[in-house]
């Protein structure tokens, strides 16, 4: 009985060893083999925040890897190497060896560039973000000086399909973009403007100016439509808009401390001194502010303040407004 059990054990052990050897050889041969016999190149994008396993899942979903190859690579990175995949756009030769794919995604020859443009920035701030984004890109044709020059070039602006516009402030849509590493300044501007056209959907220039003020003055999706109506009412009734953000735009400094002298200075963006809207948008607004400008929420208010606790307080009369100032700002 013992001999029989021992023989069975030996047989099972041999089978296990043979199976393990087969699996190991399959693993090594798959790892050393090309992904496919196809010599073409596929563009593959690694989005920000993806884990190594999520990258492999995406490679399989997009047809770069088979399920077997994905499994082998997951074993490879689990036990043999710890990958540091880079976000960006990669050109993958489909006849690359499977194990070399890991190295390729860690050290691309040339990746595209992720550019994040937050909502509510001026064009000069966007130009600097682009400069920073492209600083490590060899021989980048992007030029901050050319960017700012083109945003004021009437003929160039007309070539973008914008009529009656003399400044691209407001049209440089804030978003996260994957730009070509060798993108020209012209290509970048056209991408931002075309994205604006797609998202803003037939907004008027007046609405865009209001949206830019709402972007800097509003704090959330609740107060922005309310502020939109306040601005509209003050404009319609011939009141000074008295928007602090327009003064800050003039100084190109969002942290500038506004003084009484600032409010008395006669300049185009002083809405404490001049009636009506400023001559251009004061920033590049996002979709929330754009929608608020197009769809103001009716309310009885003519005044509002931003309190020290981060809230917006509205008032119907000057007396109520002054009471809010005394209560929340002093």
Provide the CATH number for the domain around residue 103. Answer: 3.30.1490
Same domain, 128 and 186: yes
Cα–Cα distance for residue pair 209/228, rounded to 1 Å: 11
Listing DSSP states for 273-316 in one string gives TSSS--SS-SSB--HHHHHHHHSPPP-S-SEEEE-TTS-EEEES
Res 325: pLDDT: 87
Q: What pLDDT sits at residue 111?
A: 66
**Inter-residue contact 231 to 275 (CB < 8 Å):** no
On whether both 47 and 129 belong to a single domain, the answer is no
Same domain membership, residue 226 and residue 290: yes
* Residue after which a domain boundary falls, among 44, 79, 111: 111
To the nearest whole number, what is the mean pLDDT of the chain? 87
3-state secondary structure of 126: helix
> What pLDDT was estimated at residue 104?
81
Which of these ranges, 94-108, 130-144, 152-166, 185-199, has the smallest mean pLDDT? 94-108
Is 329 part of any domain?
no
* CB proximity list for 144: less than 8 A, separation 6 or greater: 127, 128, 130, 131
> How many whole angstroms separate alpha carbon 160 and alpha carbon 191?
10
DSSP string, 219-245: -STTHHHHHHHHHHHHHHTT-----HH
- Indicate whether 226 belongs to any domain: yes
DSSP strands (E only) in the chain: 41-46, 88-93, 113-116, 176-179, 303-306, 312-315
DSSP 211: H
pTM above 0.95, yes or no: no
| 42 plus 89 within the same structural domain | yes
Question: What are the structure tokens assigned to 290, written together?
Answer: 């754009």
* Domain final position from 132, 166, 200: 200
Nearest to 55 by CA among 18, 119, 104: 104
Q: Is the pLDDT of residue 40 over 50?
A: yes
- Rounded to whole angstroms, what are the CA distances from 210 to 281, 316, 318, 322? 7, 20, 22, 24
Residues 220 and 158 both lie in one domain: no
Residue 330 lies in a domain: no
Residue 32 has pLDDT above 90, yes or no: no
How many domains are there within the chain? 3
State which residues form the domain around 37: 31-111
User: Is the confidence at residue 181, as pLDDT, over 50?
Assistant: yes
Which of 201, 231, 210 is closest to 283 using CA atoms?
Answer: 210
39 and 107 in a single domain? The answer is: yes
**Do 294 and 210 fall into the same domain?**
yes
């Amino acid at each position: 009985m013992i001999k029989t059990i021992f023989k069975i054990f030996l047989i099972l052990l041999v089978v296990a060893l043979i199976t393990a050897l087969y699996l190991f050889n399959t693993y090594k041969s798959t790892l050393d083999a090309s992904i496919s016999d196809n010599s073409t190149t596929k563009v593959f994008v690694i989005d920000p925040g993806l884990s190594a396993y999520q990258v492999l899942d995406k490679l399989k979903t997009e047809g770069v890897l088979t399920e077997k190859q994905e499994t082998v690579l997951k074993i490879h990175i689990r036990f043999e190497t710890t990958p540091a995949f880079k976000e960006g756009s990669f050109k993958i030769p489909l006849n690359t060896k499977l194990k070399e794919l890991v190295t390729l995604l860690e050290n691309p020859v040339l990746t595209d560039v992720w550019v994040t443009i937050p909502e509510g920035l001026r064009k000069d701030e966007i130009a600097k973000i682009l400069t920073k984004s492209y600083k490590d890109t060899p021989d980048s044709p992007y030029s901050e000086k050319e960017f700012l020059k083109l945003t004021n070039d009437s003929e160039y602006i007309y070539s973008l399909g914008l009529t009656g516009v003399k400044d691209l402030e407001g049209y440089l849509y804030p978003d996260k973009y994957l730009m070509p590493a060798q993108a020209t300044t012209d290509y970048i501007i056209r991408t931002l403007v075309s994205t604006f056209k797609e998202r803003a959907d037939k907004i008027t220039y007046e609405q865009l100016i209001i949206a830019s003020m709402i972007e800097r003055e509003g704090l959330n999706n609740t107060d922005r439509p309310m502020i939109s109506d306040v601005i509209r009412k003050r404009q319609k009734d011939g009141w000074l808009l008295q928007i602090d953000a327009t003064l800050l735009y003039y100084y190109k400094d969002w942290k500038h401390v506004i003084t009484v002298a600032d409010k008395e200075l006669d300049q185009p963006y002083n809405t404490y001194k001049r009636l009506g809207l400023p001559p251009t948008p004061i920033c590049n607004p996002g979709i929330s502010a754009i929608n608020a400008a197009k769809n103001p929420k009716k309310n009885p208010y003519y005044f509002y303040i931003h309190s020290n606790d981060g809230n917006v307080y509205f008032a119907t009369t000057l007396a109520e407004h002054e009471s809010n100032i005394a209560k929340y700002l002093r």
